[in-house]
Chain A
């Protein structure tokens, strides 16, 4: 165990001190933080400037969080100029048409039409009581924030998994190709070396995730987006970390096994192909699940390893999942992880000292 800890410590120290790690982490944290401000930056304007020429001001009800300001222009020419200069978003002329610089903002168009109709009906003494809205699902008002979170999470999990998995594979080949592994394995068992490497790089992955998630949540607090977040965020974050670990150990162990078949860095890419395909597949399914968390495909695949490793946490962020379902699917995934560990460790142990030409997995497995 002591050796395993030493190996893990070396991996962590080497990675965390490298410039690539620090820069990569900063860039991703900034990107995720920027996402927290995105709704503010790219969402519709918070205030509308409207103008009138020879008309009455329409009784526009400003949407939540937005304000409406009215201006009056002497004639249509002045109104057109104001629109081109960007001084107004839309101008009502003679109570019959609306001018805008480009295509009229969709939401503003609806608001103006509704207000126009309401005013005309009002003038004829017709009262239309507004429809009352009510969501059936309790947490429906968090849907938008949940969707955004789930999509962000899909990216984050995918890139962290790919990054750490490749790191494990490169590390295995570095040691095998340079024969350091011969010295290492004369002082420890293969499972200690493999375990230490996976544990160490897993910790590095966790550091990555925690920093980025904290950066994102911090930025959301500053930007005010946090009010849209559903309750139980702590549970979601913890869930994400646990699911990351399950998926990471699964993929990293198999990556180490495949990487131990080759002796040169150039061969890592091709030997990792099947695993990359599997991970890409998982990513697409998870992406789909982020948009349709209650669809049949998402519901089924959140039980099937290794898809569940990404689909389940993404669904957890996207919608409410009963705890028993999460726990059950985690148990199934844990079984798959145990299987991957048994298989991966066997291949690694048999292959890592056989330098030279690329080995075939069947040939390694059939060996006594």
Chain B
């Protein structure tokens, strides 16, 4: 289990901000084995800073990161897989050599690194490009190589910063399949993304950060029920002023009146609606992650 508690980080100020900028203002969360954790937040909210601290690329001013109950050390990080926000590969090195090299750096022996590379390239559909220089590949394929670099040593934890950005739907599916497979094998996966539907579909739990703070965290279902549903009623050609005194907001499109309300007496609203006209729709809509996100960072 990975546990972050009360991480704080302030970046040194420049001429325009003499006091510096607070990047993290007490971030805490935990990721269980086999859990996929989605990290969402506006640009500059602190996702990348948090991930960089986990990977030891950046040092927190205070707070701690624990791995399996002990303070995280350099040796542990060698067994993590990391995909930084801005992709980095040696452009002139061949695909297979590159993946193999990172495997060796993460502690694999020569033959183990070669085998892991061959398997992974096969899995990611890169076998035919194994001898090509990275700069000759399309961006999507470079991204796959980047993923292979993060996965080659069979990491115990995956930290991926925006792994889906810039990928076509097919590449997204391939990446999702690989991540789910690792997750099922008990590896905790943390990834950040702006594609909220994807996060909603994939993740067991979600953390929403805003201005360096974790404003909402938990399972997607838990966040939904905490948020509560929205009652939505559509009435055709109702009597004027039918909704006077009812909570919520009414929008009119042609002869269709739509009322949306939260935390309202649904039975009372239904009775009034039936009396006013023909009810075409009546139901409680669960908020999407996008709704929850907008609500949380507002």
Partner-B contacts on A (CB < 8 A)? 3, 6-7, 10, 14, 174-175, 178-189, 353, 355, 367
Given known pairs A6-B105, A10-B101, A187-B105, the reply for A178 and B92 (CB within 8 Å) is no
Which residues does B use to contact A, with CB under 8 Å? 12, 52, 55-58, 74, 77-78, 80, 82, 84-93, 101-102, 104-106, 149-150
Please report whether the interface of chain B is mostly helix, strand, loop or mixed according to DSSP.
loop
**Residues from chain B with Cβ under 8 Å of A186 in the complex:** 55-57, 77-78, 80, 82
Given A179-B87, A182-B82, A186-B80, residue A14 in contact with residue B92 (CB < 8 A): yes
4 nearest interchain CB pairs? A180-B88, A179-B88, A178-B88, A182-B84
CA distance A181 to B102 in the complex (A): 12
A residues less than 8 Å from B105 (CB atoms): 3, 6-7, 184, 187-188
Contacts of A178 in B (CB 8 A): 86-91
Please indicate the chain A residues that have their CB under 8 angstroms from the CB of B149 in the complex.
183
The answer to whether A180 and B90 touch (CB under 8 A), given A6-B101, A6-B105, is: yes
Contacts of B90 in A (CB 8 A): 14, 174, 178, 180
Contact of B56 among A3, A175, A185 (CB under 8 A): A185
When chains A and B are docked, how far (Å) is the Cα of A189 from the Cα of B92? 24
Measured in the bound complex, the distance between the Cα atoms of B149 and A17 in whole Å is: 23
B82 near A183 with CB under 8 A, answer: yes
In the docked arrangement, what's the CA distance between A114 and B55, Å? 85
A355: chain B residues at CB < 8 Å are: 86
Instruction: Please tell me which one of the listed residues B12, B58, B88, B104 contacts residue A6 in the complex, with CB atoms under 8 A apart.
Output: B104
Residue among A6, A175, A183, A189 with max Cβ neighbours from chain B (10 Å): A183
State in angstroms the CA–CA spacing of A186 and B51 once bound together.
Answer: 11
Q: Is the CB of B74 within 8 A of A182?
A: no
Would you list 19 pairs from A and B whose C-beta atoms are within 8 A, ordered by A residue? Answer: A6-B101, A6-B104, A6-B105, A7-B105, A14-B93, A178-B88, A178-B91, A180-B90, A182-B84, A183-B82, A183-B102, A183-B150, A186-B57, A186-B80, A187-B77, A187-B78, A187-B102, A187-B106, A189-B74
Partner of B84, one of A10, A174, A179: A179
Contact A179 B86 (CB under 8 A): yes
Distance between A191 CB and nearest chain B CB, rounded to angstroms:
12
The reply to whether B104 and A182 form a contact with Cβ atoms under 8 Å apart is no
| B55 neighbours in A (Cβ, 8 Å) | 182, 186
The interface residues of chain A lying within 8 Å CB-to-CB of B106 are 187
Partner of A183, one of B84, B91, B92: B84
Residues of B within 8 A of A174 (CB): 90
In the complex, besides A184-B105, A186-B56, 4 extra interface pairs with C-beta distance below 8 angstroms are A6-B101, A178-B86, A181-B88, A182-B57
- What's the least CB distance linking B62 to chain A, in Å? 14
Shortest CB-to-CB span from B115 to chain A, Å, is 18
* Residues in chain B near residue A189, CB distance under 8 A: 74
Given the complex of chains A and B, what is the CA–CA distance between A188 and B82 in angstroms? Answer: 13
Q: How far is the CB of B49 from chain A (nearest CB, A)?
A: 12
**Which residue of chain A has its CB nearest to the CB of B54?**
A186
Which residues of chain B are within 8 angstroms of A183 by Cβ–Cβ distance?
Answer: 82, 84, 88, 102, 149-150
Q: Which of A10, A187, A189 gathers most chain B CB within 10 Å?
A: A187
Say which residue of B58, B85, B89 sits within 8 Å of A180 (CB atoms). B89
How far apart sit A185 and B84, CA to CA, in the bound complex (Å)?
12
Most chain B CB inside 10 Å of its own CB: which residue of A14, A175, A180, A181 = A180
- Name the CB-closest residue of B to A186: B55
CA distance A181 to B82 in the complex (A): 12
* Smallest beta-carbon distance B57→chain A, Å: 5
Candidate in B78, B85, B86, B88 with the most chain A CB atoms within 10 angstroms: B88
The distance from the CB of B96 to the nearest CB of chain A, in whole angstroms, is 13
Q: Which residues of A contact B58 (CB under 8 A)?
A: 353
CB distance from A5 to the nearest CB of B (A): 10
A14 CA to B101 CA, complexed, in Å: 12
Max count, chain B CB within 10 A of own CB: residue among A174, A178, A186: A186
User: Least Cβ distance of A264 to chain B in Å?
Assistant: 13
A149 to B149, CA, bound (A): 49
**C-alpha spacing A182/B101, complex, angstroms:** 15
